[in-house]
Amino acid sequence: MSMRFDCRDPQQRTAGIDAAVTAARGGELIVLPTDTVYGIGADAFIPAAVTTMLAAKGRGRNMPPPVLVGTARAAAALAEDLGAFGQDLIDEFWPGALTLVLRASPTLLWDLGDTKGTVALRMPLHAVALDVLKQTGPLAVSSANRHGQPAAVNADEAEQQLGEAVSVYLDGGPCADNVPSTILDLTGTIPKVLRAGAISVDRLRAVSSVIAENEHYAGNAADAKPAAPHPLDGSGGSFDPATGEPPSGA
């Protein structure tokens, strides 16, 4: 039976975070608030838990989940390298609504799905999420909704869609901003926006002057190497604006 905790109450918040950490470490699923939408999470290093999470959402291995981290140091440990712009982007926008696609460290013992050797990393700007992540370590997290349905912006919507598949629901109240994170691919020489989101390209360009949009680089880049394909880009850049995911059936 699922447990639900109102994290706006200090006592429930403490008990809820403890329960969520225990559940995640045990390979169970949790739902937690973030600075964008509610997320469904699983321990990134327990393959069976990640598989269960994808099944709960109705997604396959061809749509691997991003990984949320509680510290920038944790992100650096998961990536082969941060590239020319990664550290500057992290310093400017984390914690916050920027997901960075990086080449995963080849030493990682995990299975997030068909990642093509990459990992999408983000550090959310939400106190409850960060308190959980600092205890659990990296979590594979996707929006808390069935695939093709609107992303949950409160715990009620998440529970209605995911039900008993989730062991612990952390209710942090309605999301302050339900705009999905911007996804930026750093696996190539030129950073490429895979999904427009809360952080605009203009803000990104203030840190990394060279940014490719919509699979086209606007500028003189005849000799530049394009970013490598990534599973998050598998829909040709077409994302449902409500869920931040490829359209149903994509």
Dist CA 157 CA 145 (whole Å): 8
- Contact (Cβ atoms closer than 8 angstroms) between residue 71 and residue 180: no
Residue 244 is assigned to a structural domain of this protein: no
CA angle (122 as vertex; 228, 168 as ends), nearest 5: 125
**Residue 242 falls within a domain, yes or no?**
no
Position 248 in a domain: no
In the chain, % of residues over pLDDT 70: 85
Cβ count within 10 A of residue 132? 27
Query: Quick one: CA torsion of 30, 33, 35, 37, rounded to 10 degrees?
Result: 80
- Residue 222 predicted with pLDDT over 50: no
Total tally of structural domains belonging to the chain = 1
pLDDT of residue 177: 81
The pLDDT tens digits for 98-141 are: 999 999 999 999 999 999 999 999 999 999 999 999 999 999 99
- Residue 170: inside a domain: yes
Strand partners, 30: 41, 168
In a domain, 241, yes or no: no
189 occurs within a structural domain: yes
Report which of 13, 110, 64, 52 is spatially closest to residue 245, judged by C-alpha positions.
64
Q: What is the pLDDT of residues 24-57, one digit of tens each?
A: 999 999 999 999 999 999 999 999 999 999 999 9
Residue 249 located in a structural domain: no
Q: What does the alpha-carbon distance between residue 105 and residue 35 come to, in Å, rounded to a whole number? A: 27
**pLDDT of amino acid 82:** 94
Domain residue limits at 202: 3-233
What CATH number is attached to the domain comprising 214? 3.90.870.10
The string over 180-218, giving b where at least 16 C-beta atoms fall within 10 Å of a residue's C-beta and e elsewhere, is: bbbbbbbbbbbbbbbbbbbbebeebeebbeebbeeeebe
First to last CA, the chain: 32
- Give 214's pLDDT tier (boundaries 50, 70, 90): low
Residue 240 lies in a domain: no
In angstroms, the Cα distances linking 27 to 17, 57, 70, 129, 222 are 15, 16, 19, 18, 47
**Mean pLDDT over each residue of the chain, to the nearest integer:** 87
